[in-house]
Chains A and B, each alone.
Chain A
């Protein structure tokens, strides 16, 4: 009752139960950006791969994919500017290059990705396939950065939930980018190149498997470091376990697998799986982001994280 004195439950004292660090102001805009940017990059990568191996009747799918990737890049840029608190100064993002800042790295990655995606799409559209292919490869290469820098960006903060397992967070983001990209490709292929549907599906499945393993590993680390609270408590626990892990990872994994054995409903299952992947991918970014903001509000989580255990 006497809260004027220092409060100290389970050993770790806090300052009147106040947060020790500040939460980010990131919300769904940023979650959507991470999702869209990753998806666009993943998609650019798979369609470029398809073009490189000259997969049968992939041309239309590739063009559509490039189009969507470009659209994703543009939308991503718009989302980022929308999230600035002094929007009219968006151009200062290009003022300097900070190798220590994933956001700075990401800015140039997005610029590069967007630029090459644009050129690739246009050249292809106006029948310069070779140039298109080369630019596509460059877009895909910058795409690699797009799939992962956002994880580095979150890990580089002091927010316990994000910073506690930097490598695994990056694996999950990259894998999710590839799975969502592949899932989109699957949906495109449905009409344009039915032959590719299963291939894209298998790729998505593999990405999901990697993400699932990484997620489990991350949970182990978070629990060991005592910062897993926000992902198991009422606010985000259900969304994370049911939505992200079950619905977003396990379910499509099963569906893609089954699609390989039951030719009949394959298409339907691929569609269902892809929808799960896309929804799950977005939900995963959102939950990680918002639960992260909560974890920053928990002084003991932060003190445990910053107690020199590493």
Chain B
């Protein structure tokens, strides 16, 4: 028996001390993923999220389908076993290949469209620079849902609130690694300080290239695909070996807020111009 929880457990499980004011995130290395879905379960266990849609999808081993208000981690399955000939793969590149599995999650964008769209301030950036929906504030206006360029955040019409991954906000506050990353059997999901994760990820890509997995690249790291259109870098970024769309990710997502000003100006101009015209026509009467 232990007296209580292990203090700063994240130092044991992720080698990082969690402190307010620093930037944290996930690095998901798909080449280490065995598609076990421990992340999905650990997330639901910690966050008391209900199971839903208990039907077979036929999409390889993916019966979750997508991220939703009840599912904050989703493992995608893409079979490419015989993509290189009818005999199928036998001599394989190192680590994951031919059956691609990827654990998707909220990207916690640097400029998060959901947060920028939220009119109540329910969505905000925490002291760990993550993006969270505050359930005591959200009034279910639903604007964050179409605002997300990754189709992550979802409104649950039963409780009338928006929900998504909180990067285990409550756990971070208590020095615990997020549930999904802690459970991941092969450390495909790594939690840590963003700068550190970026360093690790770049090194990993390089070593994979050296070992013959030339198609490995980072999605959502600064300057890379995913971290485009003023979204800034993604706090949850990925090491992928297929083009983003294969994993249902856009190659160049953009920040909606950038479209607000041009749109407003064009509209105001039109309205003002027509107001002027109104004076013209009326004076002519």
Contact = CB atoms under 8 A, between A and B. Distances in A.
In the complex, is A directly touching B at CB under 8 Å? yes
Chain A interface category by residue count: 35 or more
B166 to A, nearest CB: 18
Given A153-B143, A168-B266, A86 B282 contact: no
Given A21-B146, A92-B139, A206-B274, A103 B268 contact: no
Contacts of A200: 281
Contacts of B62: 16
A225 to B, nearest CB: 13
Contacts of A22: 145-146, 148, 151, 153-154
Interface stretch (B4-12, B18-26, B176-184, B247-255): B247-255
A135 interface: no
Interface stretch (B33-41, B74-82, B197-205, B213-221): B74-82
B151 A45 contact: no
B161 A85 contact: yes
A173 to B, nearest CB: 6
A107 B263 contact: no
A199 B263 contact: no
A290 to B, nearest CB: 13
Interface in B232-280: 242-243, 245-254, 256-257, 259-260, 262-268, 270-272, 274-275, 277-279
A234 interface: no
Contact of B263 (A18, A26, A155): A155
Given A6-B246, A85-B161, A156-B117, A95 B142 contact: no
A155 B256 contact: yes
B285 interface: yes
A107 B149 CA distance: 24
Interface of A: 3-6, 12-16, 18-26, 45-46, 49-50, 52-53, 55-56, 83-87, 89-90, 92-93, 95-96, 98, 100-105, 107, 140, 143-145, 147-149, 151-153, 155-159, 162-163, 166-171, 173-175, 177-178, 182, 195-196, 198-200, 202-203, 206-207, 210, 296, 299, 302-303, 306-308, 310
Interface of B: 57-60, 62, 65-66, 76, 78-80, 83, 113, 116-122, 137-143, 145-151, 153-155, 157, 159-161, 228-229, 242-243, 245-254, 256-257, 259-260, 262-268, 270-272, 274-275, 277-279, 281-285
